């Protein structure tokens, strides 16, 4: 289960290994989805029962959850589904970003708290939290918002602009963007990925405050921090000399 660059890289690597038959699954949220050159499926499974049915129908012998750390429902469904099927499950999840010297973070548990943290006085806000989450900003229409997302979208806010862009981003570019747009405050998910960390570094360099959305709590599952470790897990699971397996 993908939707991240980790999932994509892992699937591409597994597709080169004749011991494995891999299918990479996407939710299908992104309109500009670029499918990698590996077998893919797109769309929800239909809840826990749908995933159970899929794992059985496709005789999957391993399930790797390489979804985004904020894709909490899918990760929960994976845990519940393998309880029924007995399929070995591994979660690939990069560690959360840690506050460094010079960071001015305010950690919040959800978007409601993030909006409250913006304060009453109008400010110039940069946010990359995602198309669905930005709806919460409608509760504070006094601010100016620069909203970056993979796809273009519209939002009913008097002072909002959408910036469609796909990472990875670099620090110089992020810094230039924040200065040009006179950004005063950043709202970010604690994604933990290197691909989007540049905005946090740029904020630090410019002394900008960051409202940081804490990660959702996921049910426990065997977890590795890097997609490469999933290769070792599969090797251990099925034995280095095993014949073709479904992942």
Q: Which of 47, 95, 102, 168 binds ligand NAP (CB under 6 A)?
A: 47
167 binds ligand NAP per the rule CB under 6 A: no
Round to whole Å and give the CA distance between 153 and 109. Answer: 25
Among 2, 94, 140, 169, binds ligand NAP (CB under 6 A): 2
Question: Is 67 a binder of ligand NAP (CB under 6 A)?
Answer: yes
77 binds ligand NAP (CB under 6 A): yes
Distance in angstroms (rounded) separating the CA atoms of residues 125 and 186:
6
- Choose among 48, 82, 77: nearest CA to 63: 82
| CB 210 within 8 Å of CB 188 | yes
109 binds ligand NAP (CB under 6 A): no
Distances from the Cα of 180 to the Cαs of 55, 93, 126, 218, in angstroms? 49, 34, 12, 38
199 binds ligand NAP (CB under 6 A): no
- 192 CB-contact burial (10 Å; exposed 0-12 / middle 13-18 / buried 19+): middle
Does the footprint of ligand NAP cover residue 46 (CB under 6 A)? Answer: yes
Q: With CB under 6 A as the contact rule, which of the stretches 39-47, 79-87, 151-159, 196-204 interacts with ligand NAP?
A: 39-47
Contacting residue, 87, 130, 140, 238, with ligand NAP by CB under 6 A: 130
| 24-26 vs 40-42, strand pairing mode | parallel
Q: Contact positions toward ligand NAP, by CB under 6 A?
A: 1-4, 25-27, 29, 44-47, 50-51, 67-68, 70-74, 77, 130, 189
């Amino acid at each position: 289960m993908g939707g991240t660059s980790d999932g994509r890289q892992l699937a591409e690597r597994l597709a080169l290994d004749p011991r494995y038959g891999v299918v990479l699954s996407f939710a299908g949220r992104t309109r500009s989805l670029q499918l990698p050159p590996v077998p893919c499926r797109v769309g929800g499974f239909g809840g826990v029962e749908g995933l159970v049915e899929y794992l059985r129908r496709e005789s999957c012998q391993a399930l790797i959850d390489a979804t985004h750390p904020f894709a909490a429902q899918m990760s929960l469904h994976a845990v519940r589904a393998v309880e029924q099927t007995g399929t070995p499950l591994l979660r690939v999840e990069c560690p959360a970003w840690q506050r460094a010297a010079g960071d001015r973070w305010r950690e919040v548990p959800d978007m409601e708290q993030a909006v409250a943290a913006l304060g009453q006085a109008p400010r110039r806000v940069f946010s990359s939290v995602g198309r669905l989450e930005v709806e919460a900003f409608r509760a504070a229409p006094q601010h100016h918002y620069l909203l970056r997302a993979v796809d273009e979208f519209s939002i009913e806010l008097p002072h909002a602009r959408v910036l469609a862009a796909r990472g990875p981003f670099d620090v110089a570019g992020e810094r230039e963007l924040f200065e040009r747009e006179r950004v005063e405050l950043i709202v970010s998910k604690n994604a933990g990925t290197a691909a989007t960390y540049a905005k946090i570094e740029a904020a630090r360099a410019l002394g900008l405050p960051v409202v940081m959305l804490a990660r959702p709590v996921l049910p426990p599952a065997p977890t590795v921090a890097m997609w490469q470790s999933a290769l070792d897990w599969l090797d251990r699971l099925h034995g280095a000399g095993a014949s073709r397996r479904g992942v």
